[in-house]
Structure 1
């Protein structure tokens, strides 16, 4: 049986780099190994943690996650091998917009649920999500969120716990932010990849979690108010304090 692994999927390389810095701090592994995957993807392995920059948006995230999970399953003996396969958990990670006041700038976010917030149709009565239309699911329940939030808060990392929305179009107005929180009262953040990671993980029977750090407030786009450096530092701190033994054991 191969070493159980945690698969962390980010959108872009700077997010992956912050994750790897935190993993290195936590686990002490040096000299990460790069592993080529089909489709030109490059996975970075650091001890029991694999980090993959998948690209922006739910489609790219789903495709890359499915590629990594399939490669791991084949390496572990294929779909007929006794579970668990090579990965015990898939994590969508990166920076995000936070819904004020629940998730202020610079805080961490642990998702109790991942929701595809704009997958559906406009109707005369308002937005109807894909599940209401009979076209599948729009929600995934995560694992370990409360445990991770407790660990991070105990380490001095302010952490919001709630629903993270996956959107294909980032919110840019107060009106849309209000509409999203009206439909999803438990939402603490929005990002663009979590639901794609969750869909791919579910197809492989792998549990999922989403961890984010807040770089900006959801609403009118004010680039001058964004705190990218602080968000990357928080993301690094998140992965420096995770309970890896519980997540990968």
Structure 2
């Protein structure tokens, strides 16, 4: 099985990359850069010439849901471009309803390695939320569990190229006014890479 591991930054999978090559057999890493545009460009270029059995998008994420623990690893089964659309006064019309483009994507792929993970709904943003009124508005509109800056772009690329996709994230922080002192980034990265190492063992 040939798996393309799609991640925004090398730091998010640093421990995995330090594993001996035999323990990473079958997994190729694509570091795209941060954001949906960089992700789409990198994936489009790669998938135009190379076929994979699975796209595996991994990384850290912020959580809207306080029942998710910092550091927890989750399985994202739905992701949405939350900013794609038009404003009509105080009303937001998403891109699909406005006739512009699809904005919500799903992953139908399952694997035994994610059976124990909580399933979550994600949104993909250009600007991470840190303003109370904006947070309240997006929660009321979409009820997301987590946010990232790349997830929906990976889902859309997978759909376009007809490749199964799986997204797994670790919670580094809660979505609130920016407060890095409360983040658990090292724990999130550690737990994500522990899961990724387990996933690699499933493929051996």
TM-score of the two chains, using structure 2 as the length reference = 0.90
| Residues 244 and 132 (structure 1), Cα distance of their counterparts in 2 relative to 1, 3 Å cut | farther
SS in 2 for 1:71: coil
**Are 1:226 and 2:204 an aligned pair?**
no
Cα distance in 2 for partners of 1:160, 1:108 equals 8
Equivalent residues in 2 for 1:26-105 (5 A)?
29=22, 46-72=24-50, 86-105=51-70
How far is the alpha carbon of 1:95 from its aligned partner?
0.6
Cα distance in 2 for partners of 1:178, 1:111 equals 21
Query: Which structure has the larger Rg?
Result: 1
CA contact (8 A) 2:40 2:153 kept: yes
**Are 1:208 and 2:173 an aligned pair?**
no
Equivalent residues in 2 for 1:157-168 (5 A)?
159-168=117-126
How far is the alpha carbon of 1:173 from its aligned partner?
1.9
SS in 2 for 1:110: strand
Equivalent residues in 2 for 1:94-243 (5 A)?
94-145=59-110, 147-150=112-115, 153=116, 159-185=117-143, 187-242=144-199
Cα distance in 2 for partners of 1:140, 1:19 equals 28
Cα distance in 1 for partners of 2:7, 2:55 equals 11
Cα distance in 1 for partners of 2:120, 2:40 equals 22
Root mean square deviation of aligned Cα? 2.2
How far is the alpha carbon of 1:243 from its aligned partner?
7.4
Cα deviation 1:66-87 (Å, max 9, x = unaligned): 1221221xxxxxxxxxxxxx31
| Residues 214 and 166 (structure 1), Cα distance of their counterparts in 2 relative to 1, 3 Å cut | same
CA contact (8 A) 1:109 1:188 kept: no
